[in-house]
Amino acid sequence: MAMAALRREGKRFALTSPNPINVLRSSLAPSEERMSLGVRGISTQIVRNRMKSVKNIQKITKAMKMVAASKLRAIQVRAENSRGLWQPFTALLGDTPSVDVKKNVIVTISSDKGLCGGINSTSVKISRAMRRLTSGPDKESTYVILGEKAKAQLIRDSRNFIELSITELQKNFLNYTQVSVLADEILKNVEYDALRVVFNKFQSVVSFLPTTATILSPEVVEREAEAGGKLGDLDAYEIEGGETKSEILQNLAEFQFSCVMFNAVLENACSEQGARMSAMDSSSRNAGEMLDRLTLTYNRTRQASITTELIEIISGASALEG
Amino acid sequence: MSSTAAVPFWRAAGMTYISYSNICANLVRNCLKEPHKSEAISREKVHFSLSKWVDGKPEKPNCHVYKLSCF
């Protein structure tokens, strides 16, 4: 009874083995042996190969986790320090996510590489929701995409709304100059009333907050300032030099965008490493569990074949005696 | 106050505040003494590839590898 079950198990491994060479070898090489030895010759080769490959995968995921952990440590400090760049702007201009303008540009920030959990899908999901919220009959909203992963997801249903896509950002170490040149390119290439930056804010290694930051164009800032509210307090500030208010607002809006982008890119890179770390951690744990199950099957099969051989020897001997 | 008088000029040249401030930052970096100078310049590498989309299709990406010292 038990042997039949084991034979089925062995057959299933032979069928589901992902490596065609293994299947071939298992069906060709031991067939001779199986014929001469009968039921005892359940091949453990396939299970052994499977165990080896699972062990290798586990090693790879463990190494990836280590790499992500060390990268995370370096980038976390920078991300946390860069928060000081946008906080003064929010204190001065406020954040107005609910502002209603004609031309919306959604800047979706994602990673270039995968294997980092759900952070890219989260930012894509938020961007889509944002687009649905901001687009209307006389309003339009378009995408600017950072990173391969969001591009691959958004290309499917909103390819007509993509205006710019930027990749290979993380080839070198992220620095402010790079991000500001990038922000400059975005400002030059799109027309906007409000830029909405969507990114994953790093909270801890396991939790990332999908966040949006809104940057208004100088005209909209002026319009909003007349309407009052937080922006209405702008007039209370004394302006040095000979520039007019609109000039200063334009400079401020541009600088604010590059600062917010810098922070957003860093936070997202930080979240990426954190997410990769936890994803790789759980996948090496899964590989361990799988390895345990395979080892159990392997040992049980081995034991069963030994037992069968013993029984045959003993019964043969007792038949001779009797 | 030469900087305040300069604003309309770089604006008219099509520059944004970001590129203006980048040039200023690069000038400051160039004023450093030697071991620090090359270190600071090598830190600020710019590399990304940007492609514009027209009618739902990406145009050929152009790689940006700026050497800021060319400003």
Q: Could you read off the pLDDT of A6-64 as tens digits, one per residue?
A: 455 445 444 444 444 444 444 444 444 444 445 555 678 888 999 999 999 999 999 99
- A70: Cβ–Cβ under 8 A, 6 or more apart, which residues? none
Q: Taking CB atoms and an 8 Å limit, are A175 and B44 in contact across chains?
A: yes
Say if residue A77 is exposed, middle or buried (CB neighbours under 10 Å; 0-12, 13-18, 19+): exposed
Which of A53-57, A114-118, B11-15 is the most confident on average?
Answer: A53-57
Number of Cβ within 10 Å of residue A117's Cβ equals: 20
- Percentage of chain A beyond pLDDT 90 is 53
Identify the DSSP state of B60: P
With a CB cutoff of 8 Å and minimum separation 6, the contacts of B25 are A177
Shared domain for A252 and A302, answered yes or no, is no
Answer yes or no: do A180 and A250 share one domain. Answer: yes
Q: Let me know whether A119 and A221 are in one domain.
A: yes
- Asked if residue A206 and residue A88 are part of one domain, the reply reads yes
Helix or strand run (H / E) with residue B7: helix B2-12
User: Is the CB of A175 less than 8 angstroms away from the CB of B68?
Assistant: no
Contact assignment for A168 to B47 by CB distance below 8 Å:
yes
Which of A162, A169, A251 is opposite residue B48, by nearest beta carbon?
A169
Let me know if residue A237 belongs to a domain.
no
Does residue A319 fall inside a structural domain? no
Count of the separate structural domains present in chain A:
2
Q: How far apart, in whole angstroms, are the C-alpha atoms of residue A263 and residue A280?
A: 26
Same structural domain, A81 and A125:
yes
Q: Is A212 helix (H, G, I), strand (E, B) or coil?
A: strand
- Tally of structural domains, chain B: 1
Contact residues for A40 (Cβ-Cβ < 8 A; gap 6+) = A305, A308, A309
Quick check: A255 and B18 CB within 8 A? yes
Tens of pLDDT, residues A248-298: 888 888 999 999 999 999 999 999 999 999 999 999 999 999 999 999 999
Chain A residues touching residue B61 (CB < 8 angstroms):
167
Determine contact, residues A198/A107, Cβ cutoff 8 Å: yes
Q: Is residue A182 domain-resident?
A: yes
pTM: 0.82
> Within this chain, do residues A91 and A226 fall inside the same structural domain, yes or no?
yes
A159 to chain B, minimum CA–CA distance in Å? 5
Whether residue A286 sits in one domain with residue A257: no
Range of the domain at A137: 74-231+244-280
Element at B63 (helix H, strand E): strand B62-66
Is 80 exceeded by the pLDDT of residue A307?
A: yes
